[in-house]
Amino acid sequence: MKKIISNKEMNKRLVRYGELKPCKTAFIDAHTPGSNLKENFTIIGAGVSESSDQHVHLKIPHGFNIGAAGQPPKCKNSLHSHRTAEVFFVLSGRWRFFWGRWGNSGEVILEEGDIINIPTGIFRGFENIGINYGMIMAILGGDDAGGGVIWAPQVINEAKKHGLVLSEKGELFDTTKGKKLPSNFKSMNVLNEEQLKSFPELSSSEIIDNHVARYLDLISLSYGSPAKVIGETGKLVDKPGFEVDFISRNSTVDNKIGFKKPSVYIPFKGNWNIEWSNGSIILNSGDTLSVPEELEHKIYPTMTGESSMYRVVGTNDIAGSTWKNN
């Protein structure tokens, strides 16, 4: 029996770009000069926000999280690490990603539409180097997104100077607002030098060659069928608990498709129609739609011109460290 869903129910799984609710106090560097103007968005799943002020748009478990970061020019996201995948694609602006213990092991500049799958276990940060407010969309592995953020020691120490303290459970306390760490709570441990040795220092060539895909290349690779961006057979080889496909006008087909796990569509360019047996929804750039598992549907652009989108589909792989096909 085919799965059916009403437009009303499907709209509950839709988050419009213009309806995104930002949190400006999501992380421990929220008061640190140079990082204090960033905005965090949790679109699907609770993500890794450390603030009780964070709004979660869609709480349905997918096996992965979808979020976004919005930042004005020259605003940085401080050095941190994750236990599961952290993938970004640039929705708007020009961004510099950097990594290493002190952020000087390597860097790469990403333009609109480019995507990066940052290896687990390395310290990474990013900065909007464009001239306008920019937005990057994020995919985090696992329903719990790896259990929180691991901060470089200097980030935690600097945050204390500006009144922010993080508990060992990843809860943020703002002492400038009179919120003190409860007596039965311990503060987050700062990594020592021995622990820091386990965080690799990767070169720019290692990241660019194996973990970055450029938008214009994906346009070419998506001719005739969607381009597999992240997956066991993807351009960026990994098994993070989800796969990422790139779909352009040239890769759309009339056949309906359905997946055993929930799928998420995020248009980058153009307007797209998602159609199923008893309904349809038009998506615009930056919108996020969660399609239920086993629901047959088809996708196509609604008008002429450049059209492209990313699709994320859950897999049976366990979210964890970056997978390598040795």
Q: Give the pLDDT confidence of 282-300 residue by residue, as tens digits.
A: 999 999 999 999 999 999 9
40: in domain: yes
Do both 229 and 206 map to the same domain? no
Contact of 90 with 214, CB cutoff 8 Å: no
326: in domain: no
pLDDT band per the 50, 70, 90 thresholds, residue 82 = very high
Q: What confidence tens digit (pLDDT) does each residue in 26-51 have?
A: 999 999 999 999 999 999 998 899 99
Do both 231 and 83 map to the same domain? no
Is residue 252 predicted with pLDDT exceeding 80?
A: no
11: in domain: no
What pLDDT score does 1 carry?
56
Do both 196 and 291 map to the same domain? no
Q: What confidence tens digit (pLDDT) does each residue in 193-209 have?
A: 999 999 999 999 999 99
CATH number for the domain spanning 49: value is: 2.60.120.10
Q: How many domains does the chain have?
A: 2
Give the pairing of strands 236-237 and 227-231: parallel
Tokens 């952290």 belong to 86
201: in domain: yes
User: Of 315, 276, 284, 310, whose CA–CA distance to 10 is shortest?
Assistant: 276
What order of strands is seen across the sheet that includes strand 124-128? 106-110, 95-99, 124-128, 76-81, 150-151
Where in the sequence is the domain holding 241, given as residue range(s)?
215-314
Q: What confidence tens digit (pLDDT) does each residue in 119-178 have?
A: 999 999 999 999 999 999 999 999 998 888 999 999 999 999 999 999 888 889 999 888
Do both 261 and 208 map to the same domain? no
**What type of residue sits at position 202?**
L
User: Of 23, 71, 27, whose CA–CA distance to 162 is shortest?
Assistant: 27
324: in domain: no
Tokens 């993500």 belong to 47
Do both 64 and 137 map to the same domain? yes
Do both 198 and 231 map to the same domain? no
Do both 135 and 37 map to the same domain? yes
Do both 85 and 166 map to the same domain? yes
Do both 164 and 237 map to the same domain? no
Is residue 18 predicted with pLDDT exceeding 80?
A: yes
C-alpha to C-alpha distance for 230 and 156, rounded to whole angstroms: 32
Contact of 239 with 231, CB cutoff 8 Å: yes
Start-to-end C-alpha separation, the chain = 41
Do both 196 and 252 map to the same domain? no
Provide the CA 133 distance to its chain's centre, in angstroms: 18
Do both 114 and 239 map to the same domain? no
What pLDDT score does 92 carry?
98
14: in domain: no
Do both 93 and 123 map to the same domain? yes
276: in domain: yes
